[in-house]
Amino acid sequence: MNGMPADPGLAAEALEALSGVLTVYSQSRLAYESGGALYDSLDPNTATIEEIFEGLSRVFGDVPPGRLQQFAANIVDWRDADSIPTVYPGSSESAPILGVENTPFISEVWPDSLTTEADGDDGQYFEIANPYSFDVDLTGWTVGIGLSGRRISLSGALPAQGCLVVTDDKNDLRDASPEEPQNEYGSFFKIFSMLGDGYSRQLREEPLLNLPDDSGTLYLYDNAGNLIDYFQYQNMRLGGVRTSAQRDDPRARDYAKNRCSPMSLELSAAAKAALRSAANRDRAFASAAEVFDVCAAWTERASARSLDSASTSPWTRLKSAEGELDARLADLFAVGEDSGLPGNLAPMESYAARPAQNAAAGKPEAAGAENGLARMEREAVRQDTAIRRASGRINLNTASRAALLALPGMTADMANRILDRRAAGNGASGPSEGYMEGIGARPPFESIAGFLGDETIWSGKSREEKLALFGEWANRITINSQTFFVVAENQPEPQVGRTRPSVARIRSLMLVGANGRPEALNWRFEQ
């Protein structure tokens, strides 16, 4: 933009001051490409869980549907204000796809203790952990042994960073026939030599607890009966060894077989990192960049794994890889404006559509209240209002160096690399979807994902640095412009005698329609 200050700080202030007038005719489409067609980008704050899954399925066709449904549920739970995990509609009753909330989870199950069946399998237990920074009142909560089995009632507060172990025999005091004294046999205390501290490490006895030795499912419900978590385990009849089924990440329902570790609350590094950002949940997404922070860990079925497995790590990576979510999320999701036209424009208020005003201005009146062209144009705009658009975004394919420098965090070196990349061109021929046919070569950046993945632009930037900058820019940048002016002027014939040649100049505001062709929004005579 001519006259824009070279200093990035001053340029940003100038754009802020001028934003009210600079964005009047600026429109870009919020869309993503799939299978050669354009679809409206999804607003992660308003899209339904089914719409999110449908969009993910279009873009990530190589990812199992269950994983995409899990990610859709996690997006909904990120934005909503409650603490009830979202169940994906139609998923299995016994093993539903359950979203992620900041709630306690079942962290460990030891169904086949060292004590024999003949002696009551004493010492078996399950553990509920609260890895978050706030206490949770478990009064009225229950744990179900299977969908139709016994319900274990819970009560009291579970402190932050605390855990509750429920066993069938705490210390033999309520055992009608205690086992003969021997090491690691009988009650929980005899096996583990611990009784907890009564506060952050709680131990509770439930004499009627009887966990299925080999395979089973435990369900955790809140005081309103909402399903909060569940733990499926298989092949745990291990014949008297100190090995339990353990989860080290509350965001995923897979588990590992490892040496029993009640009351230890050991979490994976990925889980600890996620919990540090837990305060970001239960609020609206500020931009599409935050979708990259949503966990997508998922397990198709309960299975054992090693604790150092990466299977529960979020796979929102900027580098594309088969079976993972990648930078295409940046085009699939967009936070911001919806369909609409510039606020001060009445669609298709063209000369031909206003016979009364034209007559008052001394211009020839069009035949009828609205001619066929105006009706056709008005209908085209009416149909286009369903398209998601945004105003005032900086087009990475056309913006000047000064405009690029107005973006927060943009450096002169990076702006120069963007300009150099644009000068090098796309290398592909033919029109791009969403652009006018016949305009020429395809633009250098055909998607936000392409921009984020272009190492000539991001050389030396880490994934975290990329996401930090994209977080600042997500609602400020685009790769397309959908409005432009066309000025048409006739070439008058030479004057003959007293007959003066007619001169006409028309200025028209055009909008790229859903079919990639221009439609007139507004036009007027200037001479």
Listing DSSP states for 251-273 in one string gives T---BEEEE--TT-----HHHHH
Model confidence at 281: pLDDT above 70: yes
CB 521 within 8 A of CB 384: no
Q: Given CA atoms 53, 58, 63, 64 in this order, what sign does their dihedral have?
A: positive
Alpha carbon 320 to chain centroid, angstroms: 17
Query: Which DSSP string corresponds to 37-68?
Result: EEEEPB-TTT--HHHHHHHHHHH-TTS-HHHH
Highest mean pLDDT among 17-26, 121-130, 362-371: 121-130
Q: How confident is the model at residue 47 (pLDDT cuts 50, 70, 90)?
A: very high
pLDDT value, residue 337: 65
CB 139 within 8 A of CB 223: yes
Model confidence at 473: pLDDT above 50: yes
Higher pLDDT, 9 or 196: 196
Query: Rounded to whole angstroms, how far apart are CA atoms 473 and 445?
Result: 15
pLDDT value, residue 438: 37
pLDDT value, residue 25: 56
Model confidence at 314: pLDDT above 50: no
Query: Rounded to whole angstroms, how far apart are CA atoms 70 and 77?
Result: 11
Delimit the domains of the chain by residue range: 8-32+336-347+385-481, 105-274
Strands (E), 89-180: 105-110, 125-130, 136-137, 142-145, 151-153, 157-158, 162-167
Q: How far is CA 520 from CA 346, 370, 380, 480, in A?
A: 11, 15, 9, 18
Model confidence at 476: pLDDT above 50: yes
Q: How confident is the model at residue 181 (pLDDT cuts 50, 70, 90)?
A: low
State the pTM of this model.
0.76
pLDDT value, residue 453: 87
Model confidence at 294: pLDDT above 50: yes
Model confidence at 340: pLDDT above 90: no
pLDDT value, residue 204: 95
Q: Tell me the pLDDT tens digit for each residue of 86-103.
A: 999 999 999 999 998 999
Q: Which CATH number applies to 105-274?
A: 2.60.40
CB 449 within 8 A of CB 292: no
pLDDT value, residue 179: 55
pLDDT value, residue 500: 73
Interval 400-413 mean pLDDT: 94
Q: Which long-range contacts (CB under 8 A, 24 or more apart) does 407-415 make?
A: 407/12, 407/472, 407/473, 407/476, 407/477, 408/12, 408/472, 408/473, 408/476, 409/468, 409/469, 409/472, 409/473, 410/8, 411/8, 412/8, 414/457
Higher pLDDT, 217 or 492: 217
Give the Cβ contact number of residue 31 at 10 Å: 23
Q: Which residues pair with 217 in a beta bridge?
A: 232
Model confidence at 484: pLDDT above 70: yes
Higher pLDDT, 270 or 464: 464
Query: Rounded to whole angstroms, how far apart are CA atoms 448 and 336?
Result: 15
CA dihedral 88, 90, 92, 93 (to 10 degrees): 90
DSSP state of 155: -
Q: How far is CA 223 from CA 104, 141, 279, 377, in A?
A: 13, 5, 23, 58
Interval 330-343 mean pLDDT: 69
Q: Give me the phi and psi of 96, to 5 degrees please.
A: -70, 160
Return the residue matching tokens 């359950």. Answer: 98
pLDDT value, residue 84: 96
Question: Measured between alpha carbons, how far apart are the two ends of the chain, in Å?
Answer: 28
